[in-house]
Structure 1
C-alpha cells in the first residue's frame, strides 16, 4: 500500500538518494544441475573445435617446414610445380590464382541467385508450394559434389561450349580476359560448377535468416502504403544483412576448398591463366589431389605448405566475415 497523508491523500515515496541510487539491481541466476551440465557440454564442444583447428594448423606447419626452408619467400611467387626435381622448383602462385579466380566466379553467381531464391521462397511463392521449395533446396544442399562435377562435365560444359565460343569471337578483341579460345576446361567453367554446388547451401542459410525478420515491421511497412519490394529493401534485407554475409562466406568456404569439380573440369596446368575462358588452370585443392599419389618426401612437404597457405587464407576470410557479420547485426551500432 502507498502511504497516505493526514487527509487520506496518496503521497509518493521519496526517491533514493546517495551514491548507489542509479546503480542497476544485480540479478543472480539460479542454475539447476541441468543448466550446469548443458553449459559444460557446450563449452567443451567449443573448446574441442578450437583445439582441433589449432592441431590442424600445427600439423600442416610442421609438415610444411622442410619445403618452406627450401623455397623461401619464392614459394609465394613461383608458378611451376617440381618439388622433387633437381633442383626443386615449386610454389603456390598458380594454384592460389586459380583458387581465387574460380571462387570469385562462383561467388559472383552464387550470392545474387541465393538471395533472390530466398526472397522468392519467403515472400512471393504461394504457401502451397513454399514448404516443398524449402525441402528441395535443403535436399540439393546434401547432394555430393561428385554428382555436380559429373553433371557439369558431361552436360553443362558441352551445352555452354557454343555460347563461350561465340562470346570469345564477339568480345575477345576488346576484352582482355576473353582473348582466348574457349575449350571447356577453363577456370570460368570450374567456377560455374562450383557455384552450382554452393547455391543450395547458401540459399538454405540465407532463407532461414530472412524468414526471422520481424513480421510486425513488415506488415507495418505494407500498412503505410509501401510496396512488397519496398518492404523487402527497407525491413527484410537490412535485418538479414549479417545472415547474408555469413551464408555467403560459407559458400565461399566450399568454393575455396572444392576438389572434385576443379579436378574433373580443369585442364590441369601449373601456370597463371588470366583469361578466364582459356583452357587450363589449377587450384590448391585440385593440385594436392593430383600430386599427392606420386609425391616423394619434398613433394609431400610442398603439398603440406600449399595446404597451409589455403588454410591460412580461409581462416583469415572467415575471421573477416565474422567481424563484418557482427557489425551488420540489427542494433549492433547502438
Structure 2
C-alpha cells in the first residue's frame, strides 16, 4: 500500500510515559487542516521545553492528572515553532502561504504539537520571522523568551537601578532572562556552574556566582527580583535575599522526585508574601516585544544542540539531563 504524502505528514508520536527512546516514535499521520482563525505551518524548526520532557517522562506523577493517566491525551509534543505558512483558515487575512513566521501552537484544550512536519497554530499567536533570524533560533526563542520577558518586565518589574538574581542563568529561560534584564537596565547576578560562567558573563551578567564554590543564599547583597529556575534551595532561604518590596519568582518543577518533584517548593515559594508565579498568554504584543529585542541584538538565542526530527527522542533526552546550555532545538 502506498502512502499519499499530500495528505499525511511525518510526526513524532508519544504512546506512553518513560524513557524518550522507548515512548517516542516517528510515523506518518494525517496532515491537519486549519479551522477558523488558524494557520497551517510547514514547520522548519521547533524546540524542547520543560512541559515536553516532563510529559514524555511522565514525572512528576501528579501532572498526569492533567495530561492523561496512562498516556498523554495530546500525542505530539512541542509548542514552539518557526516555519512557513502553508495555508490559512477562514477569517485569516494577514498571513498568506509563503510567509515565514514564528510563534506557538499552545492554547488551552488544543491537541496540536510541533514535533512534526506541519502544525496548526492560532493566527493570533504567530508573527513574521525577522529575515536575519534563522529558523532554529526563531523557534528556540519563543516560550523561553516569553517566559523570561514576563518574569522580568511584567512580574518582576526589572528596570534601571533594580538588582536581579537569576538562579539557573545558563538554561533556556535563564539565558534569555539575563539579557532581557540587562536590556531593561537592571544589574544582574547569575548563578550557574563552572563550565557556564563565561557564557553567562558574555550575555551581560554583572556578577556570576559558581554554585559549586559558593552558596548564593548566604550572600549579603539584597535583590529586588529573584528568578529561580532551579528551586534547589529552600524558598525561605532564597527569599531572605530580597530587598524590601522585592519579588521572588519560582520557575521550576524540579528535576528529582517522581511523585511531586520540586512542586512543593514551588508552591511554598508562590505562597510567600513576596512570591509571584509567572503567568502570561501568548499573543502578538508579547511576541512582537520579543522579536524587537532579537532584531536589535540586545538578546540572542543560545542553542546547545540541534537534532533532526527523526532524532527527537535524543533531543528530549538531552533536556532530561538538566545540563543544557540554553535551548535544544529540533530541525524539520
Band the TM-score falls in, shorter-chain normalisation: under 0.3
Q: Whose RCO is larger (CA < 8 A, sep 6+)?
A: 1
Instruction: Look at both structures and tell me which one has the larger radius of gyration over its CA atoms.
Output: 1
Between structures 1 and 2, the one with greater helix share: 1
With normalisation by structure 2, the TM-score equals 0.23
TM-score (norm 1): 0.22
